[in-house]
């Protein structure tokens, strides 16, 4: 068992969701005194419709703002302080209040660069002005892949994140605007302003890695021939809530997307415990949305996290929740998972740096990590003493202060996940008709295996956190805890 603390990491994704209490019992008189306007997830029993639950919501002085009858989940607003108690009863499986329990996206630092003068438009990604700084693309054989298949415009990757800049010169032609939306509050808003970024360029950076255009400007994406859809789930204060995540998965399903990228985790506790009454309703709601979307043909790709945790073994979490005073939770078992990364059917991605070895921050775990991809490692050159920004991932950015588009470096498993999502988009472009399960297996079967390093692995012993702060031990053979089946490979999925 390892006792691990949450690490702060510049530009690593740390979007989280909160959870309320599961309650049961009979309907009681609603309180007369109004409380704060609060959002709830109300779940009908598995397989049941939401009509009985909706009736109980109304009786408990709540208002349904979004109904996902396909999965038996309602998004509700109420000022009744006793709503969670009053709504319980026949037709209601559980209820979760999401008030005040979201956690902020750890945006970290974006290191911006100046684009060179645009070259002549070319179909060769190596001719993009900033391609020489994209060490990540040759690592997964993107140029070779583009010579065969750069992606099909009928393939859409949903970017569940902080929005995508629709005016960015590397992305303007790449966005499926008719499939983009904001899911803030759990309700879809398809206006273009709603799904553009407001306080974070995280989603814009992710989108560029997936599908930045080969247009003689800036950078190239892994799959520039496909489209990305902005599915905004991070609000103006930088928070994501459960209702937004459920909305995002359901939107992807109903819009016919083939892949989604999810560079975040769910819950202010980084590990969501299914056996905890406080957390189980959110787990159930998210799981229902994931299963439904998978049934509609959507493959979900997610980041493994940036805490250097061995997710396959018991963990003592002393850094959660990250939206309040941390509590120590000891001996957390496999009933406590990172969501959505460890949910069934989701492809979980670890990160490597320019050496092709595990990034110092990347979480890992035998049987948890499916594949690995470039995510950046800005500390390996100095053994942790200082940062080298160009060893991060270069992609598209949007400065939310100056309202200008640009390019810049970030690092994290937030950056490795979209590389894998882009490769998955190339795979389904070259081999249409695969189910999510088939696509996931194909992605894993076409990787390039990476062997475990021997002994205790720690490329950053000089980091300020201490010489052993990022110790990690890899287990397994050809398929192992650091890299899963290996590095995703764009050429292997299209040839």
Residues identified as active-site: 161, 202, 414
Q: Which two tokens stand for residue 408?
A: 């810049």
Angle (CA) 399-421-143 rounded to 5° is 85
Report which secondary-structure segment, H or E, holds 372: strand 371-374
Instruction: List C-alpha distances in Å: 410 to 11, 206, 287, 313, 375.
Output: 5, 10, 30, 29, 8
Q: Which residue has the tokens 């109004």?
A: 34
**SS3 for 74?**
strand
Instruction: List C-alpha distances in Å: 4 to 328, 333, 362, 424, 436.
Output: 11, 14, 13, 32, 34
Q: Which two tokens stand for residue 46?
A: 């598995």
The whole-angstrom separation of Cα 333 and Cα 462 is 31
Q: Which two tokens stand for residue 15?
A: 């979007």
The whole-angstrom separation of Cα 375 and Cα 493 is 20
Give the residue ranges of DSSP H helices in 60-200: 83-86, 136-139, 142-148, 192-195
76 sits in the region (left: phi over 0; alpha: psi -120 to 50; else beta) called: beta
Q: For 16, which DSSP code? A: B
> 443 near 493, Cβ under 8 Å?
yes
Nearest CA-CA partner of 54 in 36, 72, 71, 37: 72
Nearest CA-CA partner of 162 in 242, 244, 102: 244
Angle (CA) 87-90-91 rounded to 5° is 80
Give every CB contact of residue 147 below 8 A, 6+ residues apart in sequence. Answer: none
Chain centroid to Cα 47, Å, comes to 27
Instruction: List C-alpha distances in Å: 128 to 206, 364, 426.
Output: 18, 33, 20
DSSP assignment of 310-346: BTTS-EEEEEE-TTSS-EEEEEE-TTEE-TTTTSTT-
């Amino acid at each position: 068992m390892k006792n691990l603390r949450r690490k702060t990491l510049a530009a690593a994704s740390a979007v989280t969701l909160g959870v309320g209490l599961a309650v049961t019992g009979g309907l009681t008189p609603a309180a007369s005194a109004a409380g704060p306007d609060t959002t709830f997830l109300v779940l009908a029993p598995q397989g049941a419709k939401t009509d009985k639950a909706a009736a109980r919501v109304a009786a408990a002085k709540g208002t349904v703002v979004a109904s996902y009858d396909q999965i038996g989940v309602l998004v509700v607003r109420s000022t009744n302080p006793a709503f969670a108690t009053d709504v319980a009863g026949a037709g209601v499986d559980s209820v979760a209040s999401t008030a005040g329990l979201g956690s902020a996206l750890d945006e970290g630092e974006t290191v911006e660069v100046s684009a060179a003068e645009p070259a002549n438009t070319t179909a060769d990604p190596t001719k993009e002005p900033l391609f020489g700084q994209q060490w990540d693309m040759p690592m997964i054989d993107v140029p070779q892949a583009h010579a065969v298949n750069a992606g099909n415009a009928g393939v859409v990757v949903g970017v569940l994140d902080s929005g995508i800049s629709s005016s960015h010169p590397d992305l303007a032609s790449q966005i499926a605007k008719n499939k983009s939306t904001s899911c803030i509050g759990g309700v879809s808003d398809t206006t273009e302003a709603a799904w553009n970024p407001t306080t974070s360029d995280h989603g814009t950076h992710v989108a560029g890695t997936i599908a930045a255009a080969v247009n003689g400007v800036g950078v190239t994406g892994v799959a520039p021939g496909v489209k990305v859809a902005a599915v905004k789930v991070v609000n103006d204060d930088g928070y994501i809530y459960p209702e937004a995540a459920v909305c995002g998965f359901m939107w992807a399903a109903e819009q016919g997307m083939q892949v989604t990228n999810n560079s975040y985790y769910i819950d202010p506790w980084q590990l969501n415990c299914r056996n905890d009454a406080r957390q189980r309703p959110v787990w159930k709601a998210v799981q229902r949305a994931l299963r439904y979307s998978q049934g509609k043909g959507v493959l979900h790709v997610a980041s493994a996290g940036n805490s250097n945790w061995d997710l396959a073994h018991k963990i003592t979490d002393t850094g959660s929740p990250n939206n309040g005073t941390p509590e120590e939770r000891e001996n957390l078992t496999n009933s406590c998972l990172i969501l959505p990364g460890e949910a069934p059917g989701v492809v979980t991605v670890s990160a490597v740096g320019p050496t092709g070895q595990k990034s110092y921050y990347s979480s890992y775990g035998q049987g948890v990590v499916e594949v690995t991809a470039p995510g950046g490692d800005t500390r390996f050159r100095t053994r942790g003493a200082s940062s080298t920004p160009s060893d991060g991932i270069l992609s598209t950015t949007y400065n939310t202060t100056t309202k200008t588009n640009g390019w810049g470096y970030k690092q994290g498993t937030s950056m490795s996940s979209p590389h894998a999502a882009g490769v998955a988009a190339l795979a389904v472009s070259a081999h249409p008709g695969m189910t999510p399960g088939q696509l996931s297996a194909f992605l894993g079967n076409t990787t390039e295996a990476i062997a475990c390093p021997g002994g205790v692995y720690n490329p950053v012993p000089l980091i300020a956190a201490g010489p052993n702060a990022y110790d990690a031990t890899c287990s397994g053979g050809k398929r192992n805890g650091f890299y899963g089946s290996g590095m995703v490979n764009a050429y292997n999925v299209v040839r």
